Amino acid sequence: MIRVGILGATGTVGQRFLQLLERHPDFVVSAVAASDRSEEKPYVEACQWRLPGDFPESVRALRVRPCEPPLDCDVVFSSLPYPVITNSSSFRMDADVPLVIPEVNPEHLALIDLQRQRTKGGGYIVTNPNCSAVMVALALAPLHRRFGVTSVVVTTMQALSGAGYPGVPSLDATDNVIPYIAEEEAKIERETKKLLGTYADGAVRTADVAVSAQCHRVNVTDGHLGAFRVKLERRATLAELRDAWATFRGLPQQLELPSAPTHPIVVRDEPDRPQPRLDRDAGNGMSVSVGRVAPDTVLDWRFVALSHNTIRGAAGAAILNAELLLAQGRLLQPPRAVERAPARG
């Protein structure tokens, strides 16, 4: 078993990590870290458990540590802006940092080799995307591969849990829609282009796709919904679009990674689906649901997509990245011999 540490372990995403790792075949949580508010408390006291189901027994007594070395683990999952396998937006757009959805752009992980040259064989950073960008890129990837997406307009309706805890004040959230999420639109626009981009000769060339996003916070606990309009390079029929989504598979499915959903995209044919409450847990929260596919009167096609923001959009995304790195032998690469300059004198 690989022993993992969780930074930001008491938070919304941290709790998901612990829940998803409770009976994981490869990873066991051996260290939890958070702010000095929680430091040295047993995890059960430091954390106000807010997920359905029981408190994970295996971590109950772990003492919460400060987010600094040494931590009693081999690998760190971060829900904070520290380097490693991180949900944080801090490093996502750096030229030598892979921003990865394993079904969409696993080849971008080759950027790790550049980082390791820089750190002389030491650590590296792998990032997973913004929770809405995951949904956008996963929904678009099958269409981009088969028909070429030239432009997309997406309007998101995003869940309250996306703002962390305590998040949006109840008096703002109730009976309301807030048409503003700080920096979200720019993140979706730039991350989608990197995710759909191509890797060659040590660099990612961003995809030539025009992306326009408008984001709204809605009174839903979990599950981000997006209403899409897309323009395609090649003509497609509704049946071909449906087939592109339904048959879409990636490396995680080929390698049968533990958290890989059988169907990365689930196509719903009912006229009123997907819905957050009914569809966010598709594929254990790792599948994106797509529905309401129809010709559009302005661009070519319209559809609606839905994804679980703290699972496929955060903790589950990072775990799937780690599973892929492990399967590729990249997770615990031994440090390379550091070339030393000849001693002087």
Alpha helices in the chain (DSSP H): 12-21, 43-46, 111-118, 131-147, 170-173, 184-195, 238-246, 251-254, 276-279, 316-327
Contact letters for ligand NAP, residues 17-56 (x by CB under 6 A)? -----------------xx-xx------------------
What is the CB neighbour count within 10 angstroms for residue 238? 11
Is residue 127 at the binding interface for ligand NAP, with CB under 6 A as the rule?
A: no
Which residue is nearest to ligand NAP, using beta carbons?
11
Is residue 165 at the binding interface for ligand NAP, with CB under 6 A as the rule?
A: yes
Q: Which stretch binds ligand NAP (CB under 6 A): 12-20, 138-146, 200-208, 231-239?
A: 12-20
Q: Which is nearer to ligand NAP, 14 or 245 (CB)?
A: 14
Which residue in 30, 127, 156, 161 binds ligand NAP (CB under 6 A)?
161
Minimum CB separation from ligand NAP for residue 178, in Å? 16
Question: Greatest CA separation found in the chain?
Answer: 79
Query: Footprint of ligand NAP on residues 259-318 (CB under 6 A)?
Result: 309-310, 313-314
Total site size for ligand NAP, rule CB under 6 A: 25
Minimum CB separation from ligand NAP for residue 27, in Å? 18
Which residue in 11, 98, 264, 283 binds ligand NAP (CB under 6 A)?
11
Q: Strand 265-267 vs strand 224-232: parallel, antiparallel, or unpaired?
A: unpaired
Minimum CB separation from ligand NAP for residue 263, in Å? 22
Q: Which of 47, 67, 131, 215 is catalytic?
A: 131
For the chain, the residue count is 345
Rounded-to-integer distance, Cα 330 and Cα 126, Å = 11
Minimum CB separation from ligand NAP for residue 194, in Å? 16
b/e code 43-52 from CB counts within 10 Å (16+ = b): beebbeeeee
Here the tokens at position 258 are 């533990």
Active site residue 224: yes
What is the CB neighbour count within 10 angstroms for residue 333? 14
Rounded-to-integer distance, Cα 256 and Cα 251, Å = 8
Is residue 80 at the binding interface for ligand NAP, with CB under 6 A as the rule?
A: yes
Which residue in 30, 31, 62, 88 binds ligand NAP (CB under 6 A)?
88
- Number of DSSP helices (H) and strands (E) in the chain, helices first: 10, 14
Residues serving a catalytic function are: 131, 224
